[in-house]
């Protein structure tokens, strides 16, 4: 069998009649050479051998077919065994993950049920307290309601805004089609903090994030990939509901925060929308930890029985 890089018989080495170079310089013109000699010499040799020896015997043909069928069967058995072992050997982490997800959902349902029960009991206590204060006379009940509203401990109604932040679609690799691990348009805890603080500056009187009322000691933070509001997870789209004066919407619309997130919409496809409402209702915040003060003694200073907890973005006013 001749080397395909050798010049054809009868044609000298070096530049040929078409200007191509044979021998060592042939590499630059390999495609043209393959086009001119499309038939591999091995095929020609096999055809010559069959012409000399005649067609293959029936027994040999049947044996070849039987061997091919046996190889295909063996391959299928191996594939079935491999698949069975792969399914049986599912990583333990997947089963543990599913179990943990089920436990989290169950615990969340129990927590919601306890929260609803606590809200009912709190309403009953408030009703009995108001009755007792009304019998005592004076304006103590009105002062107490005003203090509860200022600290987020009472349900409030009024005109306001709903600011919605939504995660951008996860980008995909154009070659593999897999979702990228980096999404610059994903809403972070600092985004919610910035919008909430801007609304406080613009005159907000009450704020809730996904139905979680914010108080003086409320926190907005990240745990892993989840955003927590007062240690309760919230999900995209994040709805920030605010009650405040009519001028609040105009001030927020002309703020640098609004302009920044409008830019994020164009640059990262993050969702950002502001909707005005004539009437909104915000729930009461969760009960805060009670603290007690001691009277100041002569020559001493008051010392609270417990130190205040650190606040996150809370009131911000």
In the prediction, which pLDDT does 289 show? 65
Cβ burial 8-25 (10 Å sphere, 16+ → b, else e): eeeeeeeeeeeebebeee
Phi first, then psi, for residue 50 (nearest 5°) are -65, -35
In the prediction, which pLDDT does 288 show? 65
> Which of these, 194, 174, 190, 172, lies nearest to 182 by C-alpha position?
172
Looking at domain 158-174+182-286+310-317, its CATH class is: alpha beta
> Which of these, 167, 268, 272, 269, lies nearest to 225 by C-alpha position?
167
DSSP letters for 74-99: HHHHHHHHHHHHHHHT--HHHHHHHH
Predicted TM-score of the model (pTM): 0.56
For 104-127, what is each residue's pLDDT tens digit? 888 888 888 887 888 788 788 878
Of 1-15, 133-147, 194-208, 273-287, the least confident: 1-15
Range ranked top by mean pLDDT from 232-236, 299-303, 306-310:
232-236
Is the pLDDT assigned to residue 313 strictly greater than 50?
no
Is the pLDDT assigned to residue 10 strictly greater than 80?
no
In the prediction, which pLDDT does 91 show? 66
Sketch the domain layout of the chain as residue ranges: 23-87, 158-174+182-286+310-317
For 127-164, what is each residue's pLDDT tens digit? 888 888 777 777 777 787 777 777 777 788 999 999 99
Placement of tokens 């401990």 in the chain: 153
For 209-228, what is each residue's pLDDT tens digit? 998 899 888 899 998 888 99
Is the pLDDT assigned to residue 301 strictly greater than 90?
no
Higher pLDDT, 296 or 186: 186
Higher pLDDT, 269 or 34: 269
Is the pLDDT assigned to residue 287 strictly greater than 80?
no
> Which of these, 189, 111, 159, lies nearest to 282 by C-alpha position?
159
In the prediction, which pLDDT does 300 show? 54
Q: Name 90's Cβ contacts closer than 8 Å, sequence gap at least 6.
A: none
> Which of these, 153, 156, 312, 168, lies nearest to 241 by C-alpha position?
156
Q: Is the torsion defined by CA of 129, 135, 138, 142 positive or negative?
A: positive
């Amino acid at each position: 069998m001749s080397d395909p890089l050798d010049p054809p018989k009868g044609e000298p080495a070096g530049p040929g009649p078409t200007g191509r170079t044979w021998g060592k310089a042939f590499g630059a013109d390999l495609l043209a050479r393959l086009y001119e000699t499309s038939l591999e010499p091995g095929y020609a040799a096999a055809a010559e051998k069959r012409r000399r020896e005649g067609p293959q015997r029936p027994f040999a043909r049947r044996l070849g077919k039987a061997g091919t069928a046996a190889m295909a069967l063996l391959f299928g058995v191996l594939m079935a065994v491999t698949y069975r072992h792969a399914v049986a050997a599912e990583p333990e982490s997947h089963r543990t993950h599913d179990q943990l997800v089920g436990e989290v959902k169950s615990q969340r349902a129990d927590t919601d049920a306890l929260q609803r029960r606590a809200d009912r009991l709190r309403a009953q206590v408030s009703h009995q307290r108001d009755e007792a204060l009304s019998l005592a006379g004076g304006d103590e009940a009105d002062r107490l309601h005003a203090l509860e509203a200022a600290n987020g401990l009472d349900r409030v109604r009024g005109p306001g805004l709903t600011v919605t932040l939504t995660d951008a679609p996860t980008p995909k690799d154009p070659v593999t089609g897999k979702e990228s691990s980096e999404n610059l348009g994903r809403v972070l805890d600092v985004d919610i903090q910035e919008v909430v603080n801007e609304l406080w500056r613009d005159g907000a009187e009450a704020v809730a994030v996904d139905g979680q009322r914010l108080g003086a000691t409320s926190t907005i933070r990240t745990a892993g990939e989840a955003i927590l509001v007062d240690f309760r997870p919230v999900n995209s789209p994040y709805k920030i509901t605010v009650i405040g004066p009519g001028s609040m919407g105009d001030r927020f619309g002309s703020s640098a925060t609004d302009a920044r997130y409008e830019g994020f919409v164009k640059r990262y496809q993050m969702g950002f929308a502001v909707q005005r409402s004539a009437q909104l209702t915000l729930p009461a915040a969760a009960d805060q930890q009670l603290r007690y003060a001691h009277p100041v003694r002569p020559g001493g200073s008051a010392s609270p029985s417990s130190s205040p907890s650190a606040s996150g973005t809370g009131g911000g006013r």
